[in-house]
Amino acid sequence: MTNNKLLSPYTWIHFIGLFLLGGALSLNPLKSTGAFFSDEAVYYTMAYSFAHDGDMEYQRRDLLRVYREYPAGPTGIILKLNERDRTIVFGKGFLYSLAAAPFVRVFHTNGFLVWHAILVWLNLLCAYRFCSAFMEKGTALLFSFFYFIVNASLVYYFWMTPEYFNMSLLCYALFFFVAERLNSSFLLFRSPYNFFISAILFGCATYSKPPDALVVIPLGLWLLFRKKTERPKRSFLNALLALAIYIFATIGLFGLNVYFTGDWNYQGGRRAAFYKSYPFERPGVSEFSAFERKDPIEAMVKPPFYVKTFSYNWLYFFFGRYSGLAIYFFPMFFCLVFYLFTKKSSLSWAVYLAGWAGMLYYMVGLPWNYFGGSGTIGNRYLLTVFPVFLFALMKEPSRRLLLFSFLGSSLFTGAILFSPLLSSHRNALHQQFSLFRLLPVEDSLLSDLPVNASFRARRVAFDEPATYFVYYLDDNTYYKEAFQGVSGFWVKGAKPAEFVLRTFQPNQKLKARITSLSPKNRVRISAGGKTVLIEFSEPGSQEREIPLPNAFPYDRDGTGPTYLYNIEVESEKSIISTIDGYPERPLGAFVRLDVF
């Protein structure tokens, strides 16, 4: 006879949690990848410092700990000067590393994944408990897995950075904020205690990611002015008390930042990133010598506003190849749209508007880098507000709609989830294949796209001084080479090569000189909606002019606009050649471009 308890939704969630926990104890993220990526080095080193020294000061022993596990050292670590104590401290917020420190102390580097496994476990429990209040148990379980498992958010489980932690803080804060909808007799799920706990969690989220304060505004206004028939004066006082707790928690954490670093702002002061040499690396040398030679990390100048950029960003933000919300975080997009067709309440509206407030900060406030830079999967910044729209729902979606949503999300993120470490280290790889190539490239994010992680692919010039730059979007070329005394690049056969052409003034035409070593070859060149086909009956070179579309204005650093054009070149055939001393390789066509 089947024991129903063994098949309960909670059992399935605990099974997933234990599975992740077992994997966390078996997989060392640094030894598996063989390198730090993104900002891992600073959070890794800081967590070990809290775990063993109880402080946030960077010292020689911190460097030696890294060397014991990773001989190249803390590559990319961000440090800053503590002007108060004349010490060197870590140049990032401390909360994530402090929370991970107990697990690092016990499980060493595996402790990061142990901590993340617990976060995933709790996220699933919160999602299921919330959804089960208005969905059937089976649907609530499926929806919980859909939201926190079948999308790119799970990739950040493998990162030793605070993205998943920050997202989880908002998940728990929203869960307690809407806890009255659970109809539970549990004291902490009832007003005003649920709001007090939520306020503490929102304070933690705001310290760790200050833009999260925008999420709090619609919720705070709802709490202050919500309709409460019983004892309205007391309800208003409880709302003020919750607001006071939020402010106290936020200021308290920034106060701890002063205690640890001598500065309220962990992003301020003299900060620098170190890649090859580090303070305290050489005994007898001043610990400040390496630091003083580094250029400080400066805030980016806010560039001027461009109508075309802003309008295109609405498309890129939701459906961009590298950052699209609907591509990498489809459950968030699903809830955002599904909510519009369901019943609503004042509380659900407050949560829904809170999600939009969190999104618009990045979309409008950071139009040139709203997704977190080249070392990211999807929109790393947006991951923080990923769970918000879940808690706006009030209606159960149909099983058929949920099934299609599962399939839609897995179409794009399935490959990423099957190889999360590879996808993280080669985060410009998966966009080169299948459905991703149908999606628009985010021209407004050009200098921060994942392709910029390769020095051979970014900002490539073919003349001195440069008349344009090329940014390669895939591996279907051999990058910059010279052939017959001319600088250009070879494209591989039967593979479309995409790249962005960046010029210094608007141009009308593109002149392409194409050389084919293969007889009976055809080469296609596309620029915008214009396509030119060049046919070769025998090996040789031909020139063609292609009209260019209206340029996309790009001015990330506020130094004046440059102009972008999306180009694609494809050679139908290739020939195996060892030309110019290279080993055997398939060569499709050699391309030299000029603009005028």
Q: What is the pLDDT of residue 228?
A: 62
- My answer on whether 356 and 502 are in the same domain is no
Q: Edge-to-edge, what's the strand order for the sheet holding 87-90?
A: 87-90, 77-82, 271-274
Which comes out higher in pLDDT, residue 282 or 103? 103
- Give the range among 228-242, 388-402, 419-433, 484-498 with minimum mean pLDDT: 228-242
Query: Tens digit of pLDDT for each residue in 291-341?
Result: 666 666 665 566 777 888 889 999 999 999 999 999 999 999 999 999 999
Q: What is the pLDDT of residue 373?
A: 83
Domain boundary among 402, 418, 434: 418
- My answer on whether 397 and 520 are in the same domain is no
- My answer on whether 475 and 409 are in the same domain is no
Q: What is the pLDDT of residue 291?
A: 66
- Mean pLDDT for the stretch of residues 561-566: 95
Whether the Cβ atoms of residue 88 and residue 287 lie closer than 8 Å to each other: yes
Domain boundary among 399, 418, 437: 418
Element spanning 287, H or E: none
Residue 5: pLDDT over 60 = no
Percent over 70 (pLDDT), the chain: 95
Give pairs for 124-130: CB < 8 Å, separation 24+: 124/13, 124/16, 124/17, 124/148, 124/149, 125/10, 125/13, 126/171, 126/172, 126/175, 127/171, 127/387, 127/390, 128/9, 128/10, 128/13, 129/175, 129/182, 130/175, 130/178, 130/181, 130/182, 130/390, 130/391
1 pLDDT tier (thresholds 50, 70, 90): very low
Q: Token pair for residue 540? A: 């040789």
How many Å from the N-terminal Cα to the C-terminal Cα in the chain?
Answer: 79
Q: CA-CA distance, 591 to 513, in Å (whole number)?
A: 6
Q: Is residue 38 part of a domain?
A: yes
DSSP class of 133: T
Q: Which of 92, 94, 148 is nearest to 119 (CA)?
A: 148
Q: Which residue has tokens 């707790």? A: 245
Q: Token pair for residue 89? A: 């401290």
Residue 153: pLDDT over 60 = yes
- My answer on whether 512 and 373 are in the same domain is no
- My answer on whether 182 and 282 are in the same domain is yes
Whether the Cβ atoms of residue 578 and residue 596 lie closer than 8 Å to each other: no
Query: Tens digit of pLDDT for each residue in 72-113?
Result: 899 999 999 998 888 999 999 999 999 999 999 999 999 999
Residue 396: pLDDT over 80 = yes
Q: Which of 523, 512, 513 is nearest to 573 (CA)?
A: 523
Q: Is residue 427 part of a domain?
A: no
- My answer on whether 208 and 116 are in the same domain is yes
C-alpha to C-alpha distances, 257 to 94, 98, 561, nearest whole angstrom:
7, 12, 39
Query: Tens digit of pLDDT for each residue in 538-554?
Result: 999 999 999 999 999 99
226 pLDDT tier (thresholds 50, 70, 90): confident
- My answer on whether 256 and 346 are in the same domain is yes
Residue 182: pLDDT over 90 = yes
Backbone angles phi, psi at 116, to 5 degrees: -65, -35
Residue 4: pLDDT over 60 = no
- Mean pLDDT for the stretch of residues 407-422: 89
Q: Could you tell me the residue range of the domain that residue 247 belongs to?
A: 7-290+310-418
Q: Which of 19, 216, 31 is nearest to 120 (CA)?
A: 19
C-alpha to C-alpha distances, 357 to 105, 215, 218, 363, 389, nearest whole angstrom:
38, 6, 8, 10, 11
Which comes out higher in pLDDT, residue 502 or 237? 502
528 pLDDT tier (thresholds 50, 70, 90): confident
Whether the Cβ atoms of residue 441 and residue 320 lie closer than 8 Å to each other: yes
Q: Is residue 297 part of a domain?
A: no
Q: What is the pLDDT of residue 298?
A: 62
Q: Is residue 482 part of a domain?
A: yes
Q: CA-CA distance, 236 to 227, in Å (whole number)?
A: 10
- Mean pLDDT for the stretch of residues 24-32: 84
Q: CA-CA distance, 170 to 581, in Å (whole number)?
A: 57
Q: CA-CA distance, 56 to 78, in Å (whole number)?
A: 13
Residue 232, classified by CB atoms within 10 Å of its CB into exposed (0-12), middle (13-18) or buried (19+), is: exposed
Torsion of CA 157, 119, 50, 78, to 10 degrees: 40
Query: Tens digit of pLDDT for each residue in 464-481?
Result: 899 999 999 999 999 999
Return the number of other C-beta atoms located less than 10 Å from residue 390's C-beta: 27
Hey, CA dihedral for 240, 246, 252, 258, is it positive or negative? negative
Q: Which of 571, 587, 477 is nearest to 520 (CA)?
A: 571
Q: What is the pLDDT of residue 229?
A: 46
What is the total count of domains within the chain?
2
- My answer on whether 490 and 412 are in the same domain is no
- Mean pLDDT for the stretch of residues 152-177: 96
Whether the Cβ atoms of residue 152 and residue 414 lie closer than 8 Å to each other: no
**Average pLDDT across the chain, whole number:** 91
Q: CA-CA distance, 188 to 192, in Å (whole number)?
A: 8
Three-state DSSP class for 229?
Answer: coil
Three-state DSSP class for 102?
Answer: helix
Q: Which of 282, 278, 275, 219 is nearest to 246 (CA)?
A: 219
Q: CA-CA distance, 389 to 332, in Å (whole number)?
A: 6
Give 352's contacts (C-beta < 8 A, 6+ positions apart): 339, 344, 389, 392
Q: Is residue 353 part of a domain?
A: yes
Q: Is residue 264 part of a domain?
A: yes
Q: CA-CA distance, 318 to 330, in Å (whole number)?
A: 9
Q: What is the pLDDT of residue 35?
A: 81
415 pLDDT tier (thresholds 50, 70, 90): confident
Element spanning 309, H or E: helix 307-319
- Which residues does residue 503 pair with via DSSP β-bridges, in sequence order? 468, 563
- My answer on whether 516 and 464 are in the same domain is yes
Give pairs for 479-487: CB < 8 Å, separation 24+: 480/456, 481/580, 482/580, 483/515, 483/579, 483/580, 483/590, 484/515, 486/513, 486/592, 487/462, 487/463, 487/592
Q: Is residue 475 part of a domain?
A: yes
Domain boundary among 362, 395, 418: 418
- Global pTM reads 0.92
- Give the range among 260-264, 315-319, 587-591 with minimum mean pLDDT: 260-264
C-alpha to C-alpha distances, 434 to 264, 414, 438, 446, 579, nearest whole angstrom:
47, 12, 8, 22, 32
- Give the range among 425-429, 479-483, 551-555 with minimum mean pLDDT: 425-429
- In angstroms and rounded to an integer, the radius of gyration of the C-alpha atoms of the chain is 27
Q: What is the pLDDT of residue 257?
A: 94
Q: What is the pLDDT of residue 2?
A: 44
- My answer on whether 380 and 504 are in the same domain is no
- My answer on whether 398 and 465 are in the same domain is no
Distance of CA 262 to the CA centre of its chain: 30
Give 6's contacts (C-beta < 8 A, 6+ positions apart): none
Question: Residue 554: which CATH number?
Answer: 2.60.120
Q: Is residue 163 part of a domain?
A: yes
- My answer on whether 215 and 363 are in the same domain is yes
